[in-house]
Structure 1
């Protein structure tokens, strides 16, 4: 989750206890953002949980000190390479139905369509098996998330846009006035709606607004 911090909250107070107390969020700080390289040394203290290295990863800070455009661009470029790999891995397999399609049927018909059948039908699809077999012998950046099956199937450009937007917006966003933005469900259409809303919001925040990334 991306949290827009109120002005009066000091960065030093951002412990797990304080996050829960101020925002009702139970989680830990996550180094997710890149800090801009063109900054004065004294500005580094305004970054939240910075890590050494280039680029400098941090859990947040003022928008003016975060390289959001660069993060989007890098995520999109990486997604393009990943989609090429995915196309090679699943070549020759028919399109697969994403997990949420089977899950919705299970929730509507729990007695006649039990969870065991859901798992058997989803994981029995040739395309899903192709991805899992690839992951069984691949590690790191070559790993293909089965959870992103629907995003991969949307096409290379769509997958790049999805990855670029998600790099900055994450899975949910808490606005400065305490309003939570999040997908209504796991379907790609729900995630796209969230990314549209979150991206528009982040494009309007002031340069001094502090963002914080929290992992659950």
Structure 2
């Protein structure tokens, strides 16, 4: 599942966006995703500006004006949660050697698919002891599984993983600016994801308070 954060142009209606409208206005096929937190104590007229607003504390929504979204709180909570997950991960993989991320094996397959098949790449990735340790943890802990696709981020260390999770909570996996520019990582490699997160976060830090953001699942 890929999440794109869309910055809505000023002239676009605030009516709830349907899948048809998303494709029509932005050329993306997806649905709204309740991802953001709102600020506390929204007034009735402010609630009408939100997309897919849900009940609860904090209240989740798919988006709305930036000034009504608690982006700082969302980043902080994501970072705290990541710190706990990293501790669990360290315990789960203790004694295993660092593993190569999936993107390494997939790239090797793409470079020479006839000699290194996809099935062989997948087998080589999954048989790594550290990956097996994560799978074993997930088999025994279905409530709070470890994301195997975050292996490279986890191996970067606790602080890096917390920053990665905090920024991803707000920036998603891709960003469509109000000017129509799409910002996304070139590959799933950590280095490319870091470049994307830096660019997307820099853009979001300088948006106006009235800029409307919406999260879309592609």
Question: In structure 1, how many angstroms separate the alpha carbons of the residues matched to 2:119 and 2:217?
Answer: 30
**Which sits farther off after the overlay, 106-115 or 61-70?**
106-115
Tell me the distance in 2 between the aligned counterparts of 1:86 and 1:22.
41
**1:41 to partner: Cα distance:** 2.6
| Alpha-carbon distance between aligned partners in 1 of 2:20 and 2:194, rounded to the nearest angstrom | 32
Per the TM alignment, residue 13 of structure 1 is displaced from its structure 2 partner at its CA by: 4.6
5 Å matches for 1:63-212?
Answer: 63-140=66-143, 142-212=144-214
3-state SS of paired residue (2:213): strand
Q: Which residue of 2 aligns with 1:34?
A: 37
Residue number among 17, 20, 24 corresponding to 2:20 in the alignment: 17
Q: Give secondary structure in 2 for the equivalent of 1:112.
A: coil
Point out where structure 2 has 5 or more consecutive residues left out of the alignment. none
Which stretch has the larger CA shift, 16-25 or 41-50? 41-50
Alpha-carbon distance, 1:169 to partner: 0.1
Aligned length: 215
Kept in 1, the 8 Å contact 2:82–2:165? The answer is: yes
- Provide the aligned C-alpha RMSD in A: 0.8
User: Once superposed, which parts of structure 1, at least 4 consecutive aligned residues long, lie more than 6 Å away?
Assistant: none
Mark the runs of 5 or more structure 1 residues left unpaired by the alignment.
none
TM-score normalised to structure 1 length: 0.98
